[in-house]
Chain A
Amino acid sequence: MRNRNGSGTSLRTRVFLVNGLVFLIAGTFLALTPVTVSLPTSLSDALVLTFGLGGTVLLNLLVIGRTFAPLSRLIEAMERFEPLSPDYRVPIYGNEREIVQLTRAFNDMLDRIESERRESVQRSLAAQERERQRIAQELHDEIGQSLTALLLQVEGLARSVPDEERDALAELSRATRDTLDQVRDVARRLRPEVLDDLGLGKAITALCERLGAQSGVDINCAVDAELPQLAPEAELVAYRVAQEALTNTLRHSGAEHAALVLERDGDDVLLTIADDGRGIGDDAQPGSGIQGMRERALLIGARLRIDPGEPSGTVVRLRLDGQPYGGRPRPHETLGYG
């Protein structure tokens, strides 16, 4: 338990001292100068009294104002806090006991709110991943199996009918196979198994190839061969960010070219997705995509930036801490997996 009290004098003592000092000065003034007040009060006495008291009050105000200055600096600093850079903590100004206590209490409260927020984001993202996995599994096991059965039966039929009718059945079998491919593709998008088995680099390359082929947009994908080892949750965040950024590019930007770079930068891994489209306009309606990227990044302590591109388009950058081999992510930085 750290010392929760400031080491300096308390504000109360200061105010007390200041007031005492002012009264002392006023008293001394009264005692040592020929100023007197007699009864009945004459006009000049009233004037002396008014100025004397007024002066005392003004002096008091001035000195007390100075005493409370750290309080307004503290309020300013508190107002500077914003949820998107939650690591900000208010510096301790001055050494007045109440100010130090107040600052610490405020920072402690930020800590509690922040850990509560992290936990709830963590819970909701984990629930989202679980739900995606369940849907992917069902698509795969239920619809996928039924389509396989259908396909086998159509193929069986095609082999038992006269040649003239075979073409129509071949067409039907092709259509069924396409549907089966689509179902599997949706399942893959929901739950990137390749990520677990082949690693981030290969999973992201496959993602670019698939999205490029589907959309006709030229996606240039460059992945460093040697990437620092990342924690599984960091890999999942990078994959989801790449997926969302590329999807946004294809859906909103109207770009002809897009590029994805996954590279090593010292111990870090840098993911950049850029397009040459129309850019995110001021009138863009915020959806859950960009919000989700930010939340995921925040959760594992990665830094996400979304900027306009040069000369046009959008650039999304994600910087992830590589972990030394065998290292574990700090507990508060994990996504709640495992």
Chain B
Amino acid sequence: MIRLLVVDDHAAVRAGLFSLLRREPGLVPLGAVSTVAEALREARSLEPDVALIDFQLPDGDGLQLCRDLKLLPRPPRVVLYSAFARPALAVAAKLAGADGLIDKGVEVDSLFDSIRAVGRGEEVLPPLDPEMISRCTARLEPSDVSIFGMLMAGTSTADAAGVLGSEQREIEDRLRAMLGDLLAESSTPG
């Protein structure tokens, strides 16, 4: 049995997802909320196994929420369920420590399969193109590149802080700044 928390700001998506999950054997939706703040509160009190979160949220984004959730005493596994089309989101999701990244266009059955896989402890992230990683690295502050490498290799922020001899808080801040840099647009018209 996998206990889930749904986070999506679109009411109809939230409702549709909730009722689908409720019908699916083995999956138990505990609640459905629409903001980062509510998600954190519910995650603290309900302690779900998996949080299924949208990328765009009214008071933040799914990646930042993912970091917040991962710092809870009993962190849930996190699946980003997103319609956000940027390929670099895969890199950002990996960096944020998400356990899954699922496109909103997929068949419902494959969404359920992915949730089960993440519930079992597997990682469901799209393959990362090496060229994309190097383009992404180029968007970071040069001083962040080594932290980026450690985190992408799966090192936790606590361990990275230990290796670099700095505070975990500091690494977390750098991580959040990097998430913004990764999805910044290099050719944004201005």
Q: How far is the CB of B89 from chain A (nearest CB, A)?
A: 9
Please indicate the chain A residues that have their CB under 8 angstroms from the CB of B104 in the complex.
144, 148
Q: Please list the residues of chain B having a beta carbon within 8 angstroms of any beta carbon in chain A.
A: 10, 12-13, 15-17, 19-20, 23, 56, 83-88, 104-105, 108, 129, 131-132, 135-136, 185-190
Q: Is A187 an interface residue (CB 8 A)?
A: yes
Please indicate the chain A residues that have their CB under 8 angstroms from the CB of B131 in the complex.
198-199, 202
A-B contact sample (10 more), CB < 8 A, given A198-B129, A199-B131: A125-B189, A141-B83, A148-B13, A149-B10, A184-B85, A193-B86, A196-B187, A197-B88, A202-B129, A235-B187
Q: Is there contact, CB below 8 Å, between B85 and A193?
A: yes
- Chain A residues numbered 318-334 whose CB sits less than 8 Å from any CB in chain B: none
Q: Is there contact, CB below 8 Å, between A144 and B83?
A: yes
Q: How far is the CB of B66 from chain A (nearest CB, A)?
A: 20
Partner of A197 from the list B17, B56, B108, B132 (CB cut-off 8 Å) is: B132
Q: Is there contact, CB below 8 Å, between B13 and A156?
A: no
- Asked if A153 meets B16 with Cβ closer than 8 Å, knowing A194-B87, A196-B88, the reply is yes
Q: How far is the CB of A173 from chain B (nearest CB, A)?
A: 9
Q: Is there contact, CB below 8 Å, between B83 and A145?
A: yes
Please indicate the chain B residues that have their CB under 8 angstroms from the CB of A187 in the complex.
85
A-B pairs with the 3 shortest C-beta distances?
A152-B16, A149-B12, A129-B189
Q: How far is the CB of B142 from chain A (nearest CB, A)?
A: 12
Q: How many A-B residue pairs have CB under 8 A?
A: 105
Please indicate the chain A residues that have their CB under 8 angstroms from the CB of B129 in the complex.
198, 202
A292 to B87, CA, bound (A): 28
| A-B contact list, 13 entries, CB within 8 Å | A130-B189, A140-B84, A148-B10, A149-B12, A180-B105, A184-B85, A193-B85, A193-B86, A193-B87, A197-B136, A236-B187, A335-B189, A337-B189
- Asked if A199 meets B135 with Cβ closer than 8 Å, knowing A140-B83, A156-B23, A160-B23, the reply is yes
Please indicate the chain B residues that have their CB under 8 angstroms from the CB of A119 in the complex.
none
A303 to B128, CA, bound (A): 35
- Chain A residues numbered 223-242 whose CB sits less than 8 Å from any CB in chain B: 232-233, 235-236
Q: Is there contact, CB below 8 Å, between A198 and B135?
A: yes
Q: Is there contact, CB below 8 Å, between B108 and A155?
A: yes
Q: Is there contact, CB below 8 Å, between A159 and B23?
A: yes
Q: Is there contact, CB below 8 Å, between A198 and B132?
A: yes
Please indicate the chain B residues that have their CB under 8 angstroms from the CB of A177 in the complex.
105
Q: Is there contact, CB below 8 Å, between A184 and B132?
A: no
A196 to B181, CA, bound (A): 12
A19 to B186, CA, bound (A): 67
Q: Is A336 an interface residue (CB 8 A)?
A: yes
Please, which residue of chain A has its CB at the minimum distance from the CB of B83? Answer: A144
A154 to B127, CA, bound (A): 30
- Asked if A184 meets B187 with Cβ closer than 8 Å, knowing A145-B13, A193-B85, the reply is no
Please indicate the chain A residues that have their CB under 8 angstroms from the CB of B12 in the complex.
145-146, 149-150, 152-153
